[in-house]
C-alpha cells in the first residue's frame, strides 16, 4: 500500500477490472449476486455528506467528497469497460475503500515529505521514466497520451509517486543491511530443509522396497499428487519426460529430483499419441513468421495481440511485467536472463510450445527481468503416460546474491510498514469510521 508501483497508469483500470469480475488470465468470472453495500461496510447507511470518512491529523475526507471522487472515477471507467448494473454496488464500495486508503496514504506522506524535505532532480526523474517505459513497453509520452486520467493528472501522479519512492529509498530501503553471516545462515537453513525432505523421500523408497507399504498408499497420504495422473510428455520438463518414457511399466523409480520437487514414480501406462508432424510444423512456421514480422519492423505488441496464444497477448501485447528467477520454466528463464535487452531473440521451445522473447529491462543484481513474449502453443494430443507420483516440494539451491535479495526484500516490506505506521502517528494519528482497519 505504501509504495505504489511506478506503473501508475494501469492501477485504476486494474482495480475496475478486478471489481468487474475479470481474472488475471482475462477469463470472465461469475459475477457476485445479492451484494448490497451493507454486506461490505459494517456501518449504517446512508451517511450525511458532512460525515467524516477518514481523518489524518487535521485533514478530513467527508462522505460527500468521497462519493464525488468515486462517481468521477466510475464515469471515466465506464467509458473503458462498462460495469453490469448488478455489480455497481460492489464496484462502488471497492472504489470507495481504495480512494479512502489513497487519501490516508497521501496525507500521511504529505506530512512525511515536509518533515524530511525530500526532492527529486532531473536525473532521478529520467531514470524513473525509463523504468516506467520498460515495464509498460511504450514511451513515456505515449503512456501520458493513452491515460484515461489525462496527461496533466497522470504526470502529477507520476511525480508524486517518484517523490514518495525517493523518500522511502532514503529513509528506509537505503538503510537495510543483510550481512554475509545472515546469507550463510539462510543457505544452511535451505540445505537443512533439502536434507530433511530427501531423507523423508528415501524413507518412503525403503518402505516400498521392503514391501511394508505401497507407492499408491504413500501417495494418497503424503504426495502433492494423491491419485494416478496422466502426464502429456511433450509438456513435461526434460527430467520428467525421461522418467515417464524410460521407466519400465510397474517399476518404482529411485528418488529423483525434478524442478521444484523430489519424488518417486511408478508408470502404469504409456500411449505413443497421435500428434502429426504436420501440426507441429505448422505451429513452428507460425511462430517463425511472427518473429520475421517483428524483425521486419512491425510492432511487437501488435503482432502479439494477433498471433499469441498466451492471454498476455490479447491483454497486454505480450507484456509479462517484471519477474524473478524460478518463476518461469527453465528454457524461458534462460532466454529472459541471457538475451540482450531490447532485441527479439530466436524461437525457443518450452513445455507450452514455441516462444519469441523480447527483454525490455533487466536488473542482474536483483535477479529481476521485464519481458514480453509471443506464444504459439503445442498442438493438443501427443504421447502421454499415466503414473503414480509420490512427490514433495523440494527447496532449490540458491546463489548467495539471490538469498541476499530475498532477505532484503522481506526486511524492506516490514521496514516500509513500520515507517508508514510511524508517519501516521507523526501526522497526528488516523481515524477511519467507515473502514477502521485502514486506521490501524
Over 90: is that where the pLDDT of 137 sits?
A: no
Q: What is the pLDDT of residue 149?
A: 80
Instruction: Kindly report, residue by residue over 234-255, the tens digit of the pLDDT.
Output: 778 888 888 899 999 999 999 9
Same domain for 26 and 165, yes or no, is: yes
Give the Cα-Cα-Cα angle 2, 6, 8 (nearest 5 degrees): 90
Over 90: is that where the pLDDT of 289 sits?
A: yes
| 320 inside domain | yes
Same domain for 162 and 228, yes or no, is: no
48-62, 185-199, 314-328, range with the lowest pLDDT: 314-328
Same domain for 88 and 127, yes or no, is: yes
Query: Using an 8 Å Cβ cutoff, are 36 and 89 in contact?
Result: yes
The secondary element (H helix, E strand) that includes residue 222 is helix 215-222
Q: What is the percent of the chain where pLDDT is above 90?
A: 60
Same domain for 254 and 301, yes or no, is: no
Same domain for 253 and 225, yes or no, is: yes
Output the nine-digit C-alpha cell for 391: 512427490
**By three-state DSSP, how is residue 268 classified?**
strand
| 404 inside domain | no
Same domain for 130 and 77, yes or no, is: yes
Same domain for 285 and 373, yes or no, is: yes
33-42, 101-110, 245-254, 393-402, range with the lowest pLDDT: 33-42
Give the pLDDT band of residue 22 (cuts 50, 70, 90): very low
Query: Using an 8 Å Cβ cutoff, are 8 and 136 in contact?
Result: no
Give the pLDDT band of residue 13 (cuts 50, 70, 90): very low
Same domain for 13 and 53, yes or no, is: yes
Output the nine-digit C-alpha cell for 237: 520438463
Over 70: is that where the pLDDT of 330 sits?
A: yes
**By three-state DSSP, how is residue 98 classified?**
helix
Same domain for 19 and 117, yes or no, is: yes
Q: What is the CATH number of the domain that holds 310?
A: 3.10.50.40
Order of strands across the sheet with 319-324? 319-324, 368-377, 353-363, 348-349
| 403 inside domain | no
| 3 inside domain | no
Strand 52-56 vs strand 59-62: parallel, antiparallel, or unpaired? antiparallel
Tell how far CA 238 is from the center of its chain: 26
Order of strands across the sheet with 256-258? 229-232, 384-393, 261-271, 256-258
Q: What is the pLDDT of residue 46?
A: 60
| 37 inside domain | yes
Same domain for 114 and 184, yes or no, is: no
Domain count, the chain: 3
Q: What is the DSSP string of 4-72?
A: --S-GGGHHHHHHHHHTTB-TTS-B-PPP-S--HHHH--S-SPPPTTSEEEEETTEEEEHHHHHHHHHH
Residues facing 384 on adjacent strands: 232, 271
Instruction: Kindly report, residue by residue over 61-119, the tens digit of the pLDDT.
Output: 999 999 999 998 888 777 777 777 778 888 888 899 999 999 999 999 999 999 999 99
| 1 inside domain | no
Rounded Cα gap, residues 272 and 254, in angstroms: 24
Same domain for 259 and 368, yes or no, is: no
| 406 inside domain | no
Query: Using an 8 Å Cβ cutoff, are 168 and 419 in contact?
Result: yes
pTM of structure: 0.59
Same domain for 28 and 141, yes or no, is: yes
| 293 inside domain | yes
Please give the residue range of the domain that contains residue 32.
Answer: 8-171+411-439
Amino acid at each position: 500500500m505504501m509504495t505504489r508501483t511506478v506503473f501508475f497508469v494501469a492501477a485504476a483500470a486494474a482495480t475496475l477490472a478486478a471489481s468487474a469480475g475479470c481474472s488475471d488470465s482475462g477469463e470472465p468470472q461469475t459475477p457476485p449476486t445479492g451484494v448490497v453495500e451493507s454486506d461490505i461496510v459494517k456501518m449504517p447507511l446512508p451517511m450525511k455528506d458532512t460525515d467524516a470518512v477518514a481523518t489524518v491529523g487535521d485533514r478530513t475526507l467527508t462522505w460527500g467528497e468521497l462519493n464525488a471522487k468515486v462517481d468521477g472515477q466510475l464515469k471515466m471507467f465506464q467509458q473503458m469497460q462498462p460495469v453490469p448494473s448488478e455489480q455497481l454496488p460492489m464496484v462502488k464500495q471497492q472504489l470507495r475503500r481504495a480512494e479512502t486508503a489513497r487519501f490516508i496514504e497521501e496525507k500521511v506522506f504529505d506530512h512525511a515529505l515536509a518533515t524530511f524535505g525530500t526532492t527529486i532532480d532531473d536525473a532521478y526523474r529520467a531514470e524513473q521514466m525509463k523504468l516506467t517505459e520498460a515495464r509498460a513497453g511504450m514511451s513515456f509520452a505515449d503512456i501520458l497520451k493513452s491515460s484515461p486520467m489525462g496527461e496533466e493528472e497522470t504526470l502529477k501522479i507520476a511525480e508524486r509517486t517518484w517523490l514518495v519512492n525517493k523518500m522511502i529509498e532514503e529513509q528506509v530501503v537505503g538503510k537495510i543491511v543483510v550481512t554475509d553471516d545472515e546469507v550463510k545462515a539462510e543457505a544452511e537453513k535451505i540445505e537443512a530443509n533439502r536434507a530433511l525432505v530427501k531423507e523423508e523421500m528415501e524413507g518412503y523408497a525403503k518402505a516400498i522396497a521392503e514391501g511394508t507399504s505401497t507407492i499408491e498408499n504413500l501417495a494418497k497420504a503424503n504426495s502433492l499428487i494423491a491419485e494416478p495422473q496422466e502426464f502429456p510428455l511433450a509438456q513435461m520438463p526434460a527430467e520428467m519426460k525421461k522418467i515417464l518414457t524410460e521407466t519400465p511399466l510397474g517399476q518404482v523409480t529411485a528418488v529423483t529430483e525434478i524442478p521444484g520437487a523430489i519424488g518417486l514414480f511408478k508408470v502404469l501406462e504409456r500411449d505413443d499419441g497421435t500428434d502429426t508432424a504436420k501440426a507441429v510444423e505448422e505451429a513452428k512456421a507460425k511462430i517463425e513468421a511472427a518473429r520475421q514480422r517483428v524483425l521486419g519492423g512491425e510492432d511487437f505488441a501488435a503482432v502479439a495481440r494477433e498471433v499469441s496464444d498466451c492471454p498476455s497477448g490479447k491483454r497486454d501485447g505480450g507484456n509479462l511485467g517484471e519477474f524473478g528467477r524460478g518463476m518461469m520454466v527453465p528454457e524461458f528463464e534462460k532466454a529472459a536472463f541471457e538475451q540482450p535487452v531490447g532485441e527479439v531473440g530466436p524461437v525457443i521451445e518450452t513445455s507450452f510450445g514455441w516462444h519469441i522473447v523480447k527483454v525490455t529491462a533487466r536488473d542482474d543484481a536483483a535477479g529481476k527481468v521485464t519481458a514480453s513474449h509471443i506464444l504459439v502453443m503445442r498442438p493438443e494430443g501427443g504421447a502421454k503416460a499415466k503414473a503414480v507420483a509420490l512427490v514433495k516440494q523440494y527447496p532449490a539451491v540458491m546463489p548467495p546474491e539471490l538469498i541476499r535479495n530475498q532477505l532484503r526484500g522481506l526486511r524492506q516490506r516490514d521496514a516500509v510498514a513500520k515507517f508508514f505506521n510511524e508517519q501516521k502517528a507523526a501526522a497526528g494519528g488516523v481515524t477511519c469510521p467507515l473502514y477502521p482497519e485502514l486506521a490501524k
